[in-house]
Amino acid sequence: MAYNEQIEIRIEKIISDWKNTAHRNMFGGVCHLLNGNMFCGVYKDFLILRLGEESGNKALSLPHVRPFDITGKPMKGWVMVGQDGFKADDDLLDWLNQAKQFVSTLPSK
């Protein structure tokens, strides 16, 4: 299954003004990088986010959020959010800002 291009369009609309971003096709979807570190992307019909272990674990208690697991081994600090978890653009912006905040603490690559 290809990734949901409508989610990708919404992400691009929000992050287009952010500095030091890039995107790459990965794992059958697309990932966005900030300062060389992956911070979000689209996998099938899910928004994927790198929130860090603490924030990622907290997010798992929210509706429509589950571990980012496409191989049978969940990636620590990453979550998948179903489309109902970011119907409004403000919700998507909030998720993306959380990922941006975490990744901004990492050394640039």
Q: Predicted confidence band at 27 (pLDDT cuts at 50, 70, 90)?
A: confident
What is the domain extent for residue 29?
5-103
Cβ-Cβ contacts under 8 Å for 53 (sequence gap 6 or more)? 76, 77
Residue 109: inside a domain = no
Are the C-beta atoms of residues 96 and 40 closer than 8 Å to each other?
A: yes
Residue 38: inside a domain = yes
CATH of the domain at 25: 3.90.1150.30
Per the structure, the count of domains in the chain is: 1
Residue 14: inside a domain = yes
Q: Report pLDDT digits (tens) over 48-82.
A: 999 999 999 999 999 999 999 988 999 999 999 99
Residue 108: inside a domain = no
Q: Give the integer Cα–Cα distance in Å for 31 and 70.
A: 14
pTM higher than the cut 0.85? yes
Residue 18: inside a domain = yes
